[in-house]
Structure 1
Amino acid sequence: MKKNMGQTDKIIRVLIAVVIGVLYFTHTISGTLALILGAFAIVFLITSFLSFCPLYIPFKINTREKIN
């Protein structure tokens, strides 16, 4: 797994996951929507902590800054 996610990308994903968590725990979202968004939140957190997004590979996306 080669890291392909930059700092800004990771921060945005964590913020989205936190917002989804807050919406769930305040009962703003529930049912099927809560399950689907919860799954997305978990994936966002995992990919953020690993700095790797498998969906970036086929599209050749790399948001990580290059170090000289």
Structure 2
Amino acid sequence: MKTNVGLLDRLIRLVLASVLFYLGLFLYSGTTLGIGLVVVGSVSLVTALVGFCGLYRLLGIHTNQPNEQL
């Protein structure tokens, strides 16, 4: 599996994941919205750590540079 998420995109996803976790776990704790925010944050965190996004692959998007691929 080749990476298709670039460094800047990964950093943005990490920040987004932390904000979504905060909102889901503290502000909207125990609600359906809170659970949804935590799920979306989890997906964002995993794609940032792995460097691969399935939706990007389906759409043919590559935000990484050729020399960034692992």
TM-score normalised per structure 2:
0.84
In the other structure, the counterpart of 1:10 is 10
CA 1:36 to 1:24, structure 2 compared with 1: closer, same or farther past 3 Å? closer
2:2 match: secondary structure: coil
Structure 1, gaps ≥5 residues long: none
Count of residue pairs the alignment pairs up: 66
**Structure with the higher fraction of residues in helix conformation:** 2
Whether contact under 8 Å (2:17, 2:44) holds in the other structure is yes
Following TM superposition, where does structure 1 have runs of at least 4 consecutive aligned residues deviating by more than 6 angstroms?
A: none
Give 1:64's aligned residue. 64
CA RMSD, aligned part only?
A: 1.2
Alignment gaps of 5+ in structure 2: none
Deviations 1:26-64 (A, max 9, x none): x32230001111001111111111100000112110000
